[in-house]
Structure 1
Amino acid sequence: MAEFQYGRLVSFTSLSDLFATIINKECRRLQNQGFSEIVKFYQKIVGIKIPDVQGGNRLKEMYERRHLLVHRLGKTDEKYRHTYGTQAKTITIDDQYLVESFATVLAFCMEMWDRAHGLLAHPEPSRREPPVTITIEAVPFSKRAQEALSERFSFADPSGERIIRLKDIELSRTSTHGTERLVLKGENEHLKQYLRHLKKLVRKDELQLIETVKDRLDLRDYKREKILSSLSPDFVKRVEALIPQQLPLPTSFYRDAAAQLSLSVGKTREIVQAIIYARKAALGDQDPKNSGQK
């Protein structure tokens, strides 16, 4: 896996920059280490066995053929001849092989795409509490208070083991006539720790807190949101096509839908109820009794 020096790690300005750098570095590493390392990576990290994917084994032969053509002028070795059951001392790429290779890569990519989306549709359940959104309006009277409201400000979490950057939990900010308005979203304990720091500045007359409004997401809403955000748009459309317009749902609906989606009845019920609830919420009706639950 990609490794970074501490100085490089803390220099990233956003999590998206960090993720992009890690992904690019890991791709370069795999590209340089060969097909066998790619197979190991997907099985260990992603949880997909490439040989089980359509075209996976033929993709390995294509990779080794390319290696022989580039580094041995197409001359085969004993290992290649034994593995692929051929007596040919020299290999080339003719039109038929090229066309079949394109078809193999396409089939492989499509199944890998489907498998990856399947994993995203059923992520490991999170043990974290739902995030909290808080709005803060404050007037700074000192340089230290201005720094505390700056996106560059960082503070330790209650355990002292993690450093939280304000920029990473900030949703938006506006500044009007010396008043700073911040909208933050994060773990409840992190936001409470930040507020403790601001209140210390208030007690020292370095800051005035005009308003703080905290909005904790309902746990059920949070779970529904997490379920839908983990599904691909195509999969959501596929489930929506199975849901009848007339509610409540028939008694046998979840069992029949689970069979069509190749999911458990419990997982199907969870996804369907999240979709129905979101649909009704968009129409201004959030009564759980009308969410197709039986």
Structure 2
Amino acid sequence: MIEHETNPIYVANVDRYKSMQYQRCGRSGVLLPKLALGLWQNFGAVDRLDNARNMLRKAFDLGITHFDLANNYGPNYGSAESTFGSLFKQDFKSYRDELFISSKAGYDMWPGPYGQGGSRKYLVSSCDQSLQRTGVDYFDVFYSHCMDLETPLEETMMALDYIVRSGRALYVGISNYQPSQTKQAIAILKELGTPLLIHQPRYNMLDRWIEDGLTDLLLQEGVGSIVFSPLAQGVLSNKYLKGIPENSRAARNEQRHLGSKDITQEKLQKVQALNAIALTRGQSLAQMAIAWTLHNKAVTTCLIGASSPAQIEDSLLALNHLNFITDEIAQIDAIIR
């Protein structure tokens, strides 16, 4: 992590809860902010520490209480948790009970047969490592980051149940699970006595897979959801309205989840049409994209990423106009489908 300047002692904004809206997570007692901050990018060892610090401070000052991590966020793996741990110790330790901190394990993390997947061995070991890097005594929620088809689902869910019962986390979550897998996970966890709190799927106007069974299931079972990638890795922003900028990550194919091959002319035409609707709503395309995800009744909160404090402030403006009239929804559906 690159340090650029020394910051004064942090004192949180006394009005931090006046600008944020909170929503109950499923049928639990947990209220989550409608916007949460993900540390997937821009918090790694190669990024500026002062910028990471300023983003976390800005987020909390605006009432964003939920910070989302995973063991392999970086680069390098683990470095986003280490960055958060350093800043937590300096700025946020006295505010711990006001924060909702999560981490995950499932994707590859370290070499050898025990460094990925859904086994009890990997999940518990990874959770312990993540606690050490972040410097917190427990996570508010710990996720199985992805389904492991080679490990019995019962073992994975029993590991999550153990993580809660051993005091390592307060709640359990799953991420990137398909509807049928989610239904099984809910049933197993319910039988174990540690109900599923939340599901974290990818969801945006260009990727609506959760509407094919998952959202209905979550509503029926009283499970919350926190959706990630609301801007489709920046595609649903002003960045690509006129094509692929030369200096963008997509142009350089530096983003493993987004390359120039993913931004087709057809997709750009859709983005331009969606932008026209956003302008009539008095929003930027990014703000409308965020608001659109929250329009889904199954969505508890939208997980945003940011590269600067200003981006966090801009995203928060989406909450000023969350309602969509019938014609707007119909126009958006027609463009997308």
Give me the TM-score of the superposition, normalised by structure 2. Answer: 0.24
Structure with the larger helix share: 1
Q: Which of 1 and 2 has higher RCO (CA within 8 Å, sep 6+)?
A: 2
